[in-house]
Amino acid sequence: MDGTSAFYSKSEEAIEREVIAGGHQTDQSQIDVVYEINCCVEWIKNAGFLRVALQFPDDLMKDAVSVTTRLETLLPTGYTVFILGDTSYGSCCVDEVAAQHYNASALIHYGRSCLSQPVKMPVLFVYGRLPLHIDDCICKFSCLYPDVTSSVIIVYDTVYLYTCDEILNKLQSKYENCVMSTIRGEGTSADTTDGEPGKFKTITKCGRTISLPGDKALSEYSMFYIGGESLTLNNLIYNFQSSQFFSYNPCTKEGRRENVNVNKLLMKRYFMVEKAKDAKIVGILIGTLGVANYSDMLNRLKVLTKKAGKKSYVFIVGKINVPKLANFMEIDVFVLIACAENTLLDSSEFYKPVITPYEMELACNTEREWTGEYPTDFGQLLEGGSHHQSIPDTFHQDETDISLVTGKIRTLGHGDDNIETGQSLVLRSEAMTVATQTESAGEFLKMRSWQGLEQQLGETPVTMAVEGQKGIAMGYSDEPT
């Protein structure tokens, strides 16, 4: 072929127009290839999974019935596949909880993925195949890197995984220092070594594995991303922080340098850290139930905030939006436990800041210092992770600093001898300790005009049940036609 994807019968331009416009149903003749039907059938049959849940993102739900019908046709009698409805959190994460509600023995996740590792059930990832003109991609790469000695690491959105081998083979004939990342054990020719000890070192970030020569550092490489503007791109920029970050958008066929001031982005996030240091009441948001070790991160945040002298509440609200969090105005700051891509939530529209677990660690853990790195995967903060830092048993009583937001003196931990009231400092007593920790939430709830359902047991008169309206909302049976 001439560099175009071989499995599409339509012209590439027509397909790209569909992708940009929101897409249409995949042609029935291409379902088997795009959704790797034969691979799915073999995986189900070999493992003997009798009930398999199929998870589709919103943009692929249009093909869900066709994929399910095709699987049912090829599977023997006794095997059941079914489609999961709307996921409670991000569609890039595996919705193991919904699958368990329907007694699924395994799950197939279709579409792009954040590469978070599930733990509760076997999962097969089918990333899909969006169209990519390989020759055009290589041409744009050559324009962005005219020096053939450039050291470049290629990363990509998961939907372009199928093109990696061909792209790398064509580039390495000219660019000897070009390295292709791999994901979830999906190998490319970049993985192979001659077995010589110490010749290569392996770096894993954002679910991607990179093999580099032992004498070269990650900072010596430029980054080249294949994919459009997305949470994936933002996540990679935060984690790799390369001085040069280029991208190629397969939909628009545009190659460009990402004009991202990483330091400016980090300073915006560091402002959130200052807000977290000032916070007295912290809301811990559960943004995923399908990422490994999320409960360990929850327990760690509870311990951390308690030792820092802050009160914490846990919230499970499903997909997060402004109206949901606006119901909890007594919370000073929210910390979101989610996958690496969804944790960097833009909280500019929210009434209170929404920060990451790492930012909460910077605010509360006196043993942690900011080195300039910015891990978005909370698993790296846990024991055994690359950015783990133990929580001190107690905070030093004399550790105080000045808030960069309010300009007032603040302290951390239960050992504080003083508390802040207005512009002055007064001696903390045992009674006042309780009062200051509960004042914000308690007083706010008392002032609410709506305080929730009250049971009023024994106070409500008993009445006979009566028959209500029948029909549908647009025309009940007792309404005139």
pLDDT confidence of residue 122: 93
One domain, residues 116 and 146: no
CATH of the domain at 307: 3.40.50.11860
> Is 467 part of any domain?
no
> Is 196 part of any domain?
yes
One domain, residues 329 and 185: no
One domain, residues 424 and 283: yes
One domain, residues 354 and 421: yes
pLDDT confidence of residue 195: 40
> What is the tally of structural domains in the chain?
3
Pairing of strands 182-183, 178-180: unpaired
pLDDT confidence of residue 448: 62
One domain, residues 205 and 156: yes
Per the structure, the complete domain to which residue 16 belongs is given by: 12-126
Whether the pLDDT of residue 321 is over 80: the answer is yes
Q: Using one digit for the tens of pLDDT, what is the confidence trace for 349-391?
A: 888 999 999 999 988 888 887 777 788 888 889 988 888 888 8
One domain, residues 167 and 239: yes
Query: How far, in Å, CA of 282 to CA of 395, rounded?
Result: 18
Phi, psi of 116 (to 5 degrees): -70, 140
Radius of gyration over alpha carbons of the chain, in Å? 27
Structure tokens at 367: 């043993």
pTM attached to this predicted model? 0.73
Query: Among residues 126, 157, 188, which one ends one of the domains?
Result: 126
> Is 184 part of any domain?
yes
pLDDT confidence of residue 10: 40
Q: Which residues of 219-242 are buried (b: 16+ CB within 10 A; e: fewer)?
A: eebbbbbbbbeebbbbbbbbbbbb
CATH of the domain at 98: 3.40.50.11840
Selected residue with higher pLDDT from 47 and 24: 47
Query: How far, in Å, CA of 172 to CA of 199, rounded?
Result: 18
Query: How far, in Å, CA of 129 to CA of 159, rounded?
Result: 5
Q: Using one digit for the tens of pLDDT, what is the confidence trace for 384-435?
A: 888 888 888 766 554 666 666 666 666 666 544 443 433 333 344 443 333 3
> Is 481 part of any domain?
no
One domain, residues 439 and 295: yes
> Is 455 part of any domain?
no
One domain, residues 408 and 268: yes
343 C-beta neighbours (distance < 10 Å), count: 26
Whether the pLDDT of residue 120 is over 90: the answer is no
> Is 474 part of any domain?
no
One domain, residues 139 and 227: yes
Query: Among residues 104, 126, 148, which one ends one of the domains?
Result: 126
Q: Using one digit for the tens of pLDDT, what is the confidence trace for 281-310?
A: 999 999 888 888 889 999 999 999 998 889
Query: How far, in Å, CA of 152 to CA of 171, rounded?
Result: 11
> Is 452 part of any domain?
no
One domain, residues 403 and 290: yes
Query: Among residues 260, 292, 310, which one ends one of the domains?
Result: 260
Contact 107, 55 (CB under 8 A): yes
Point out the least confidently predicted range of 28-37, 241-250, 256-265, 460-469: 256-265
Specify which residues 421 forms β-bridges with: 424
One domain, residues 221 and 276: no
> Is 59 part of any domain?
yes
Question: Which residues neighbour 110 within 8 Å (Cβ) at sequence distance 6 or greater?
Answer: 35, 54, 55, 56, 57, 60, 67, 126, 128
One domain, residues 241 and 271: no
Structure tokens at 58: 């919103």
Q: Using one digit for the tens of pLDDT, what is the confidence trace for 335-348?
A: 999 988 888 887 77
CATH of the domain at 225: 3.40.50.11850
